[in-house]
Amino acid sequence: MSDLIDLDPASTDPPYEQLRARISELARTGGLAPHTRLPAVRRLATDLNIAPGTVARAYRELEAAGIVETRGRLGTFVVGDEGRPDPARELAAEYARRVTALGVSPERALDLARAALADP
């Protein structure tokens, strides 16, 4: 995983924040699939040439944000999508309920959505 993380020593952001942001981005975009086990704190610290406390802090903040979960000695894992709210999915479901209630066909509803997205 260290090949997916590039910390910038010249950045004004501290290393733990860069690490937290990068892992968060990877989890959000699918670069780290749900249920992926993250490297142990010491291993990742060694790979990135940073202090173990830096990695531990990033992991704690990711856990507090609901992006990862620690399972004791089993390790730290990316939380599955089912555990996170997805506002876009909720809005899409609301749209589907409303157009269905109007009697609009699924094909027409998709055409309307595509047109709306093409011309916001």
| Torsion on CA atoms 90, 93, 98, 101, rounded to nearest 10 | -150
pLDDT band at 86 (very low <50, low <70, confident <90, very high): low
State the residue for tokens 């903040």.
Answer: 61
pLDDT band at 2 (very low <50, low <70, confident <90, very high): confident
d(CA 118, CA 34): 31
pLDDT in tens, 104-116: 998 999 999 999 9
| Torsion on CA atoms 31, 34, 39, 41, rounded to nearest 10 | 110
pTM above 0.85, yes or no: no
What residues form DSSP beta bridges with 78? 68
Plot region of 84 (φ>0 → left; ψ -120 to 50 → alpha; else → beta): beta
